């Protein structure tokens, strides 16, 4: 499960980078990018909490 947590953190970081690039280059999609970023960060937090309980 540790590898799943690492993968989730990598995906979350990439989502943050994509969010910044989208806000700078394509402003009309910034709300969609923000929603995706929030979902990935939430999923990362859930995975981390699950890993700590196991």
Q: What is the pTM of this model?
A: 0.76
Residue 54 has pLDDT above 70, yes or no: no
- Measured between alpha carbons, how far is residue 13 from residues 36, 38, 54 in Å? 12, 11, 24
Helices (H) and strands (E) in the chain, counts: 2, 0
pLDDT digits (tens, 9 = 90+) for 6-42: 888 899 999 999 999 988 998 888 889 899 999 999 9
d(CA 43, CA 45): 5
């Amino acid at each position: 499960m540790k590898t799943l947590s690492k993968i989730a953190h990598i995906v979350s970081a990439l989502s943050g980078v994509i969010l910044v690039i989208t806000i700078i280059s394509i402003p009309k999609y910034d709300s969609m990018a923000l929603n995706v970023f929030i979902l990935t960060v939430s999923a990362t937090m859930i995975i981390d909490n699950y890993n700590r309980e196991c």
